Structure 1
Amino acid sequence: MLTLEAKRMGFHVVTLEPLPNSPTGQVADEQIVAAYDDLRAIGELGARSDVVTYEFENIPLDSVLALEADRRIVHPGSTALRITQERILEKTFLREAGIPVADFTPVRSRAELDAAENAIGYPGVLKTTLGGYDGKGQWVVRSREDAERAWTEAKGRALIWERLIPFDRELSIIAARNAQGQIVAFPVSENQHDHGVLATTIVPGRVEPAVAERARRYATTVAERLEIIGTFCVEFFQRGDELLANEIAPRVHNSGHYSLDATQISQYELHVRAVCGLPLVEPRQFAPAVMENILGAGAGDTLGGVDDLLRERDLKLHLYGKAHASLRRKMGHFTVLAPSIDEALRKAEHGRARLHWVEDRAAAAR
């Protein structure tokens, strides 16, 4: 989606990806097939690009540092990546910036596991400090037995123990900042998850204006302190009038996919504008929207029910060109626009019920 928006704007796109037929590789002008830690390939990418960016943060920090050492322009830069891809650094940054977070403590040894049990207590969440996303590398712990099981399954990886927050809603705000310090933001989104994977996004989120304004203020603080250039997201837990920051994503975000159809400028175009030094404009939403992720079920790679879905006038479908629909893999999404959130939710639920995964194309047509 980022590549498609960049090409629509007239940019030549070179992508580096380990898989030769990745979704980005299918639409980019050029593809370098290599691992993200292949510094020779990273150097080639830098030499063939005026600006380098990334669409997820689980890439080696050394690759970005190598580009910067070679005086290549990389947005967002290594500082933002270093802090946001390591949970302890991220939570410490947020707390020092005056943004509330759940209580946390590092767990890098069995002694620290014992200390965390006493300091934070149950219920809690143990998370790997590096590499976790979409619910991976996380364990809810409600007893010593749970904590021991998580410690064993983590296999020596550094962890963070966070207090488990009973929340009313999960929210996110997506914003963009350019090199001139201009910041624009989308409406606050309300997010619902399935086993740690985003399933549904409701925009605007059903929160009071004061809560939405506070989320924007926190996002501005994050952008300015990290000197982010590009689109980014801050995720929150809402508990009454309280907002607790959960994590920062220094990139375009799944909860902003709706912006391709529901706002006059998408998060992807804003990212391209920001990293290329172009002016930013404030997003304007056309109508209430609900975005539904289409998740794999591990029961076939062909999506059935598409014909029925496309009969809906106010629905836009996006499929990503991924070959295998493994369990809870993000294969696409659709966005519904409606006069009200309630109506958009009804239409989205109806659309979701029409889709199913099958083994072959003939079955998909039935």
Structure 2
Amino acid sequence: MSDLPLAPGAMIGILGGGQLGRMLALAAARLGFDVAILEPEPDSPAGRVAAHAIRGPYDDPRALEALAAVAGLVTYEFENVPASAVSHLIAQGVAVAPNGRALAVAQDRVEEKTFLNSIGVATVAFAQADSDETASAAVAQLGAPVLMKTRREGYDGKGQRWVEHVADAAAAFEALGGRPVILEAPADFVRELSVIAARGRDGELAIYPLAENHHENGVLRRSVAPAAITPALAEQAERIAAQVLTGLDYVGVIGIELFELPDGRLLVNEIAPRVHNTGHWTMDGCEVDQFEQHIRAVAGWPLGPTAAIARVEMLNLLGDEVEAWAKLAGEPETRLHLYGKRDAKPGRKMGHVNRVSPLADPRR
């Protein structure tokens, strides 16, 4: 592993070649780093902007060794990196950040909520099940309706379904593949918020203003930031972020999704040990965006300022919505970010826009 802080000109490895890897690679380039991407698919969005691209499965020893040969520091763009890949890289003398503990917690929804509760961070009530019978018992324990999710994998609303009655639990369990699941009590929330935060190698924390998020069919459609919040709510979110980052001995940027309850309390919905869709607003709304912040953190650099310099409405461009690029590029308040994906499949995230306006006082 190269000495830290990592000097400009060094190579940083990234596991994952999608849009988050692409934006990380571009941010790394601005700071003078080269990037090597490991990705199974050819012609990946990140691979096309990186100095070096390695094609292979994430758990392929030869591909990992090729990555280790050029990069002494590796990070990742998504949380479903196989644990074996991280172990293999570490055995090759490569530093991996965020750490394996953060991955293990984020990859298993039961582990995630158990960890959060153990550090004093509130979540919805939950139970686990690994059979038809235990699923039915868990629904009876929590009280229907409940949300059943696979314990591992699943994103953007996939791998989950609502269970309205105890009698429906077994069928829901089978419909999700008969795999271990978590059952979550519904949250009576007034809105969904998120906080993007970073922790450096020296324990320094940097926390961004909160975003208010709106989902459709389990997919993020719109974020507005800075969210209109009270000082007490901001302090509560910052405290949660600090507890999570410190509890995981975390290095890098993390996304924390939150439910705001009617009484002003915040529950954590989930954590993502990576840069996050609800943080894309920072690209045009902050002095240092989440992607540069992540590179700074893992490279051992000082963290940058997180102050908002504009109000931003971020809109995801899904599927053929990206075909409006010419119109969007002509809007003076709009900043267009396209991901370089070849096929505009329905529901696929093809890019996003940040609509920028002057910053008002975000606190009620």
Q: Tell me the TM-score normalized by structure 2.
A: 0.90
Q: Which residue of 2 aligns with 1:278?
A: 301
Residue 200 in structure 1 maps to residue 222 in structure 2: yes
SS at match of 1:52: strand
Q: Which residue of 2 aligns with 1:216?
A: 238
Between the two proteins, the alignment pairs up a number of residues equal to 338
Residue 57 in structure 1 maps to residue 79 in structure 2: yes
1:281, distance to aligned residue in structure 2 (A): 2.3
Q: Which residue of 2 aligns with 1:312?
A: 331
SS at match of 2:84: helix
Match of 1:239 among 256, 261, 264: 261
Match of 1:331 among 344, 350, 353: 350
- C-alpha distance in structure 1 between counterparts of 2:198 and 2:30, whole Å: 19
1:132, distance to aligned residue in structure 2 (A): 1.2
Q: Which residue of 1 aligns with 2:277?
A: 254
**CA 1:243/1:302 → structure 2, altered by over 3 Å: closer, same or farther?**
closer
SS at match of 1:167: coil
Q: Which residue of 2 aligns with 1:82?
A: 104
1:62, distance to aligned residue in structure 2 (A): 1.1
Q: How does 1:72-221 map to 2 (within 5 A)?
A: 72-144=94-166, 146-221=168-243
Q: Which residue of 1 aligns with 2:60?
A: 38
SS at match of 1:37: coil
Q: In the TM superposition, what whole-angstrom CA distance separates every residue of 1:291-323 from its partner, at most 9, and x where no partner exists?
A: 000011xxxx58333222222212100110111
1:118, distance to aligned residue in structure 2 (A): 1.6
1:78, distance to aligned residue in structure 2 (A): 0.6
- C-alpha distance in structure 2 between counterparts of 1:173 and 1:62, whole Å: 29
Residue 321 in structure 1 maps to residue 344 in structure 2: no
**2:309–2:359: 8 Å Cα contact kept in structure 1?**
no
**2:136–2:166: 8 Å Cα contact kept in structure 1?**
no
Q: Tell me the TM-score normalized by structure 1.
A: 0.89
Identical-residue share of aligned pairs (%): 43
**CA 1:136/1:9 → structure 2, altered by over 3 Å: closer, same or farther?**
same
Query: What amino acid is aligned across from residue 172 of structure 1 in structure 2?
Result: S
- The answer for unaligned runs of 5 or more in structure 1 is 342-366
Residue 288 in structure 1 maps to residue 308 in structure 2: no
Root mean square deviation, CA, Å: 1.5
Runs of 4+ in structure 1 over 6 Å off: none
Query: What amino acid is aligned across from residue 95 of structure 2 in structure 1?
Result: I
1:161, distance to aligned residue in structure 2 (A): 0.4
**CA 1:302/1:212 → structure 2, altered by over 3 Å: closer, same or farther?**
closer
- C-alpha distance in structure 2 between counterparts of 1:213 and 1:172, whole Å: 13
SS at match of 1:40: helix
SS at match of 1:305: helix
Query: What amino acid is aligned across from residue 275 of structure 1 in structure 2?
Result: V
- C-alpha distance in structure 2 between counterparts of 1:70 and 1:307, whole Å: 47
**1:173–1:234: 8 Å Cα contact kept in structure 2?**
yes
Match of 1:265 among 280, 288, 301: 288
**1:176–1:232: 8 Å Cα contact kept in structure 2?**
yes
- C-alpha distance in structure 2 between counterparts of 1:82 and 1:67, whole Å: 16
- C-alpha distance in structure 1 between counterparts of 2:41 and 2:282, whole Å: 27
1:142, distance to aligned residue in structure 2 (A): 1.2
1:146, distance to aligned residue in structure 2 (A): 4.0
1:17, distance to aligned residue in structure 2 (A): 0.5
- C-alpha distance in structure 2 between counterparts of 1:239 and 1:194, whole Å: 20
- C-alpha distance in structure 2 between counterparts of 1:303 and 1:276, whole Å: 34
SS at match of 2:34: coil
- C-alpha distance in structure 2 between counterparts of 1:270 and 1:260, whole Å: 11
1:160, distance to aligned residue in structure 2 (A): 0.2
**CA 1:39/1:145 → structure 2, altered by over 3 Å: closer, same or farther?**
farther
- C-alpha distance in structure 1 between counterparts of 2:176 and 2:125, whole Å: 21
Query: What amino acid is aligned across from residue 211 of structure 1 in structure 2?
Result: L
Q: In the TM superposition, what whole-angstrom CA distance separates every residue of 1:89-129 from its partner, at most 9, and x where no partner exists?
A: 00000001100100001111122112202211111100011
1:52, distance to aligned residue in structure 2 (A): 0.1
Residue 229 in structure 1 maps to residue 251 in structure 2: yes
Query: What amino acid is aligned across from residue 117 of structure 1 in structure 2?
Result: V
Worse overlay, 63-72 or 84-93: 63-72
Query: What amino acid is aligned across from residue 81 of structure 1 in structure 2?
Result: L
**2:205–2:242: 8 Å Cα contact kept in structure 1?**
yes
Q: In the TM superposition, what whole-angstrom CA distance separates every residue of 1:205-244 from its partner, at most 9, and x where no partner exists?
A: 1222211210111011100010110011111111120111
1:176, distance to aligned residue in structure 2 (A): 0.7
1:340, distance to aligned residue in structure 2 (A): 6.2
